[in-house]
Amino acid sequence: MSHPTLLEQLQQDGDFLKLTLSNPNALEPFNFSLLDDTIVCIWDTGVICFEPKQLTHQDIVLSCGVHGNETAPIEICADIVQQVLTGQITLKHRLLVLFGNPPAINASKREIEENLNRLFSGQHNDTAVTPSAERERAKKLEGYVGQFYSSSRVTDLVPRNRYLYDLHTAIRGSRFEKFAVYPFLHEKPWRKAQFEFLQACDVTTVLLMQTPATTFSYFASNTHGADAFTIELGKVKPFGQNDMTRFTKVCTALRQLISHDTVQTVAFDEHQFQLYQVYRAINKQTEAFKLHFADDVENFTSYPVGTLLASDGELEYRVEQPGEALIFPNAKVAKGQRAMLMVVPTTVAGNVV
């Protein structure tokens, strides 16, 4: 074994997050087995794969820390990994857990150089942009997801049910504390089973995307055919300041997902959800870009038609229709990136299976 001290440490306390943050830039791969014969494969820093002896048709990816200061999802995933490694959870399905940006986690910052969640689906290959650590990490994360889904151990087990849940917390609060972003499906129907799982996670607000994106969840959905989501679990807080009781349902649902045949859910009823679709994206064109509302305005806030939302030099962006609400406003993004989405209520009636 190439790293006996690392292995001994991990077997003693199961603290893979500590191991990751002690080696934020790289970690030489190594493998070992748990007492139930589950194979544990450390592929890189922040990348841990579990292969139960008896294979099922489910391949599950849980990711967190794509933004380094979003600590609640990191704590949730770290706890799940620790419980698997110490035998408190017995896995039923293959599982890959990713801690996206370890240097940013150590720095308690959203990013070191670039927004990692805008660099997937090959966006990291843009030769017109200066290389960055986040671009290299995006490329590696894409590779690890592809490696996981295409493992030679499962190629003969068809059909495969692939999942990726990318867990986040938002910069600001929200009218709906928890919400999910459902990537653009290119005219394919939405899935009732996934709405039911989200509801089991205490997530009943869903933003249905209408265009391709460079997010991690869209990459998994579009490239690998996975049921994939960006799941926002509340507001950004430092380590140790999260009220973990607010995540009881999502933790229970994730544990059931990886260790049971099924998750306890209720039948999908659209009336139990708040569903939105993107009406338009507002991009930052110049350094003069400015938001015309308070820093503490919550996601999904709406204003009367005609209200000035943002300006960018001589450009003005105003509310254009009743019910239009803002989400993910951030004036500090780089030029050319999305500074805010405007969303409107919608329905999935007639396009859900």
Distance, in Å, from the CA atom of 340 to the CA atom of 280, rounded to the nearest integer, reads: 9
Report residue 15: phi and psi, to 5°: -90, 80
232 is catalytic: yes
Contact 334, 114 (CB under 8 A): yes
- 125: which 2 tokens? 């290959």
Question: Which of 232, 298, 314, 316 is the catalytic position?
Answer: 232
Distance, in Å, from the CA atom of 262 to the CA atom of 260, rounded to the nearest integer, reads: 5
C-alpha 291 chain-centroid distance: 26
Contact 250, 238 (CB under 8 A): no
Catalytic residues: 232
